[in-house]
Amino acid sequence: MHNPSASHSSQLKKLLRYIKGTCGLGLPIVRSNLLLRTFSDEDWASDPMSRKSTSGFCMFLGDTLVSWTVKKKTTVSRSSTESEYRALASATADTIWIRRLLADFGIKHDPPVDIFCDNMSTIALANNPVFHARTKHIE
């Protein structure tokens, strides 16, 4: 801001052209129920060099997407169950935050939130606390 150069001006023009060309695009906001749903997934060891996983989750309030995250993990998981479980835990934490945010807005959300995951061992681990003894390696 204090010392703009020609490259800054060209980058600004490129950004403004992009914004102008994508004004018609966006995320649809539709009137629907206020049922919160979360979908979680993890791509175990997707980076062939570092063997780190990429996780992602998205939350819908009714039919409207309200939150999403995709990021490469900072640690290497030993199994697909471990990586999916970490993604599920992260999605759950964000879901709890969204529920509290809705409560701050005066929107009461009494029904339990459906959290979807596609890994059967992770679902079994999350549902049955007996398995937690076998997962001491997961922080």
Give residue-wise pLDDT tens across range 50-72: 777 778 889 999 888 888 888 87
Higher pLDDT, 109 or 128: 109
Q: Which residues contact 85 (CB under 8 A, 6 or more apart)?
A: 122, 125, 126, 135, 138
Indicate the CATH number of 28-135 among 1.10.3720.10, 3.10.20.370, 3.40.50.300, 2.30.290.10: 3.10.20.370
The span from the CA of 39 to the CA of 134, in Å, is 25
Nearest by Cα to 84 from 114, 116, 112, 51 = 116
Q: Are 116 and 38 in contact (CB under 8 A)?
A: yes
The span from the CA of 56 to the CA of 91, in Å, is 8
Which of 11-20, 44-53, 95-104 has the lowest average pLDDT? 44-53
In the predicted model, what is the mean pLDDT of residues 67-78? 77
What is the value of pTM for the model shown? 0.66
pLDDT at 130: 62
Q: Are 89 and 138 in contact (CB under 8 A)?
A: no
What is the per-residue pLDDT across 106-126, written as a single tens digit (0 to 9) for each?
988 888 988 888 877 767 776
What end-to-end distance do the CA atoms of the chain give, in Å? 43
The span from the CA of 115 to the CA of 37, in Å, is 6
